[in-house]
Amino acid sequence: MATIKKLNIPGFEEVVFCQDDSAGLKAIIAIHDTTLGPAVGGTRMLPYETDLEALADVLRLSRAMTYKAAASSMDFGGGKAVIVGNAKKAKSEMLFRAFGKFIQSLDGRFLTGEDVGTSSDDFQIVGRETKYVIYPPENLEPKWEPSFLTAFGVLRGIQASVMDVYGSDSLAGKKVAIQGVGKVGDQLVRLLHAEGAKLTIADLDHSRLSEIGAELGATVVAPREIYQVEADVFSPCALGGILDDEVIPRLRCKIVAGGANNQLVDERHAEELWKRGILYAPDYVINAGGLISALYEMGICDRETVIRKTAEIYDRLGVIFDTSRSAMISTQAAADRMAEERIRQAKRDRTTNK
């Protein structure tokens, strides 16, 4: 039996708990804000220990998507979905078709696609039950996949950050420590290697780590050691929630710029980085390449436009860094100010046009 329960969460337009026991599905969908357009956000599948843990994750992620879209000048709102389950064991056609029916019930207010633990193949199945899914066209070239475009945007963000700190955006000889070499991290280390950066990498997948290290000549360290590596740039590209009171004092870098979502455990940690003289590239700005790629997947624009818009992450971060200095606020606060002003302006325009 399929059931859907609406949760009243202040600050969110709609949060629904979805369950279909016959399909083995338990999921939460969160729509944070649709002022700028329909909510867009991926669906991740993880074995959350509790429903509260899953709820906390989907709320954080959906809010970040609102800011990501707003800061990237895209006409989308923010949303996210999580499926509770082991992605290696619990996937089935029934599960994803059941999930598709729940997405369809939202009548286009939420568009979704792959994320951690899910794939474009999974969303081909979801798409049998709803048209409100986003996935790459068949036979998509690797350089047009969302993971590559996300990595390309992170590369441009790292270059902008290096320019701000060192006065040149050349990465030749720059030391970069990358945490996580999954879909995005793998692409990023290759781009950085091509730019001449000196790489140190860490990941929980030891065999994959050793393989990439040998191929690219990167130094391999244990996951907990990556924070203390002396580097110009620390690039978090695994799961979020890593920059906290324990990790920040251990950092030996000038810049934090990576592809992971929700890197800060709390907003105050952005100010802590700022006070320590560490330049932080706000995650929802630097990792927006994957969201921007949705424009091509949805047929809204061509490939060249997607590349151009992703490359503009460099300029957008430059504005944020300048605002941070002039206003004497953290870079996170400066990015939030940019995103919130765009949303406020959209609301004013909507009121004026009524």
Which secondary-structure segment (H or E) carries 84?
strand 77-84
The verdict on whether 80 is a catalytic residue reads yes
pLDDT in tens, 70-124: 999 899 999 999 999 999 999 999 999 999 999 999 999 999 998 889 998 999 9
Structure tokens at 63: 């809010």
Radius of gyration of the chain (CA): 20
- Say what the alpha-carbon torsion angle 278, 279, 284, 285 is, to the nearest 10 degrees: -170
Q: Which position has the higher pLDDT, 25 or 241?
A: 25
Distances (CA, A) of 95 to 42, 52, 113, 164, 289: 16, 21, 15, 47, 29
> Which residue, among 101, 137, 131, 151, has the nearest Cα to 311 in the 3D structure?
151
Worst-scoring range by mean pLDDT, 85-94, 159-168, 208-217, 345-354?
A: 345-354
Give which of 73, 60, 16, 4 is closest to 285, Cα–Cα: 73
Residue 227, pLDDT > 70, answer: yes
- What pLDDT does 137 receive? 65
What distance in Å separates the CA atoms of residue 144 and residue 133, rounded to the nearest whole number? 18
Check residue 303 and give its pLDDT. 81
Element (H, E) at 268: helix 268-275
Determine the CATH number of domain 143-341: 3.40.50.720
- Domain segments of the chain: what residues? 2-60+78-126, 143-341
Give yes or no for residue 142 having a pLDDT over 60.
no
Range 2-60+78-126: architecture per CATH = 3-Layer(aba) Sandwich (3.40)
Residue of 26, 68, 80, 174 with catalytic role: 80
Strands of the sheet with 233-236, listed across from one edge: 219-220, 198-202, 175-179, 233-236, 255-256, 279-280
pLDDT of residue 145: 74
- Over residues 288-317, the pLDDT tens digits come to 998 888 887 777 778 888 899 999 999 999
pLDDT in tens, 41-85: 999 999 999 999 999 999 999 999 999 999 998 999 999 999 999
Q: What is the pTM of this model?
A: 0.87
